[in-house]
Structure 1
């Protein structure tokens, strides 16, 4: 019985080892610079620039061993938020929407000091749907922005340093 319990615990521990992202190609890079992403969207959400910039910084700091720097980073990100809008996505009778969609788009410029073949400029965009009767404010707005930021920042990480994208 003790051997079975020990084997079970061992299997659980082996199966629960922390997942690491080993498929990154950062070359000789040691530092990362992520400039503040200005909000240049026609509809401006005041906190979006700060939230997006912090989301991108936090993702790279959590998933890589790169050190954040304010200047002369080996890997360098800059850009701007180009779109923040709400549009109806599914209709019901009387030409009213059942759901709305929050869409955020970010133009990103990436430069790799050691490998210019990895450089890019690209617009990343994602959305999240919500009930048309809900007011886009407070917790709902924060949750939707966080969901969208998470997806966009992961896409940016994948394109810039992941080998499998």
Structure 2
């Protein structure tokens, strides 16, 4: 009798999980039957080009997917496929401090990435969208000394946004 009671408690839960796809404890929902993913190199077509940005962004996206899913990576045509380009890389002042000659107190590095995501299992979840993130830094700090750290932080934010859009439907 106790086994029957446990079965009645578990049965509805199993139907819910089975009917809604594969869930992970990272907040993502991967389409049932999705087993592979491919991520193409994101070409840097921004007017201001940082030579390492294309590779570092692509690797950050792969790392995010690798850490939060059990999908296997293949070179092309995965069940989930990411491709795109880096379309903007800008440094601009965001706050001005007064004085005889006004100068920037804070600067902002922003990066924009155009992403085309194709879900071969559930095509209605595919998208083609731009994602932009930024990080502010003090104008008294030389940009060259903080640039790589800023890029790493922005890549983390961008890959989180892209992952959430593709797998968490945010």
So what's the TM-score if we normalise by structure 2? 0.82
Q: Tell me the secondary structure at the aligned position of residue 79 of structure 1.
A: strand
State the shift of 1:141 in Å: 1.1
The aligned residue for residue 158 of structure 1 is 164
The aligned residue for residue 130 of structure 1 is 137
Equivalent of residue 43 in structure 2, options 27, 33, 38:
38
Which stretches in structure 1 are left out of the alignment for 5+ residues? 1-18
Q: Tell me the secondary structure at the aligned position of residue 51 of structure 2.
A: coil
Aligned residues: 145
State the shift of 1:21 in Å: 1.4
Which stretches in structure 2 are left out of the alignment for 5+ residues? 1-23
State the shift of 1:22 in Å: 4.9
The aligned residue for residue 86 of structure 1 is 91
Per-residue deviation, residues 88-147 of structure 1 (Å, max 9, x unmatched): 000001221001000000000000001110010000000000111222124x11110011
State the shift of 1:29 in Å: 0.8
Q: How does 1:1-165 map onto structure 2 within 5 Å?
A: 20-93=25-98, 94-138=101-145, 140-163=146-169, 165=170
So what's the TM-score if we normalise by structure 1? 0.84
Separation in 2, partners of 1:114, 1:144: 36
